[in-house]
Amino acid sequence: MKVLVLNCGSSSIKSQILETATDAVLSKVTIERIGAPDSILTAFDEQGRRTRHTLVVKNFEDGLDAALTAHAGHRVVHGGEQFTSAARMTPEVVHAIEDLISLAPLHNPHNMRGFYAAAKLMPHAQHVAVFDTSFHHTLPPKAFLYGLPYAYYTRDKIRRYGFHGTSHRYVSQRVGPASKVITCHLGNGASVCAVDQGRSVDTSMGFTPLEGLLMGTRSGDLDPSVVLALLAEDGASAHGVEELLNKQSGLLGLSGLSQDMRTLLTQRESGSGRAAMAIEVFTYRIRKYIGAYWAVLNGADAIVFTGGIGENAAAVRAEACAGLETFGIEIDPEANALTIGIEGTIHRGRVPIWVVPANEELLIARDTEQCLNSL
């Protein structure tokens, strides 16, 4: 089955057409800076040949105009409790996803924009939603419940949901027969997951993608009283505090320079103390979560790094694992330096440490085929 996979962000589209029978990528198109006069389109054909040019892409309809196929799989960040696997995007499913926008206001609207555009261009196609949260539906209550009055869960469904599930699922499967895996998805959004026998048993993101690790512009873990203190400031509003925590914090807020780890690593080399501090906080939080999930799993058979930072920033991987030698977690500096953007192992201790480039599109295509074949 040929499946078009769409991963739509606020100003970008990542698309692939995959043949699920062979996992072959038939074509791959990435469009960046949608809405700007200098949008960038990068395309790869079946032989891996790349073409790249600048053009005007006014909206998602323009971006998807040439990406027509019989079926389409859509990444959707938040599926709440009701979506534990991929679902065909019937009117009822679409309505249910729209009702979940308040739980992921920075993501679900963009995911749905891609669906609306694709549905307009491909009205007779079968569209399937594949949810980031569905991998984490196996979390036990002890991991997903917050210490709030129980009615807030039963009535309002306030709980840990977890995100980046497609990525965590893909990379944990790539390490082979390992039964206990700690997966670290490190990008502008970042999370860690404890995987036991292929099942997510704990993860760092929570009710929204704001909880957990320090991220590009998100604060990650903080004392809830900090939110109350911010709201108590003159002129503060709930919307303003939400913007602060989601878009002005994290690496950007601490460094005052950038949310881009590449920039911060360069600035640290040039002597920037703020850049060095932001990187140190970032890697320290990762190390804390690896230690926590080592305890959750009672040991681990492998550690996996993925995502834009996890795949490409050797220094971040090394610093995140520093001090974990007592667990047998130790990075080989030479292998680490050579493993940039490719799959490979980078350990010299007894616990394998993997770098696995994310391929969420492949899993989305497989889930789309499985969903449609089950109808």
* Catalytically active residues, by annotation: 132
Tokens standing for residue 307: 């995502």
Q: How far apart are CA 367 and CA 375, in angstroms?
A: 13
Confirm if 38 and 29 have CB atoms less than 8 A apart: no
Q: What is the four-CA torsion angle of 131, 134, 136, 142, rounded to 10 degrees?
A: 130
Confirm if 29 and 43 have CB atoms less than 8 A apart: yes
Give the count of beta carbons closer than 10 Å to the beta carbon of residue 328.
13
Confirm if 259 and 267 have CB atoms less than 8 A apart: no
Confirm if 33 and 39 have CB atoms less than 8 A apart: yes
Tokens standing for residue 180: 């206990």
Tokens standing for residue 207: 């009710």
Q: What is the CA radius of gyration of the chain?
A: 21
